[in-house]
Amino acid sequence: MYQRLKIWIENINKKPSEIADLIGVNRATISHILSGRNKPSIDFLQKLLNTYPNLNANWLISGLGSMYQNKEKNQIIRKQSKIINKVVIFYDDNSFDELDKN
């Protein structure tokens, strides 16, 4: 898990000390977790996930799923369920054609 925590911290371009300050834990706590010396406590995880709710707890703990909650996935599904009624094609000479569904 500490490897995934390292990856996530690098991904958000923060220093471990900044994360510690933001979530309200001792800087040594996060340092010990990142070195593999200590395992994160439930309190640490709760503070981290409360501060960063888009971080996927399942990914962080087990490595399953993606790093972030799947808000983007839900948006893609909604977009895929839309029906195309018309396509407009614009040409170089400023003319256009409309292609209707029917």
Residue 84 has a pLDDT of 72
Are residues 44 and 25 in contact, defined by beta-carbon separation less than 8 angstroms? yes
Residue 81 has a pLDDT of 57
Are residues 55 and 49 in contact, defined by beta-carbon separation less than 8 angstroms? yes
pLDDT tens for each residue of the chain, 102 residues long = 889 999 999 999 999 999 999 999 999 999 999 999 999 999 999 999 999 999 999 999 999 888 998 655 444 445 555 667 778 888 889 888 888 766
| Domains identified in the chain and CATH numbers | 2-69 (1.10.260.40)
Distance of CA 30 to the CA centre of its chain: 20
Beta bridge partners of 90: 96
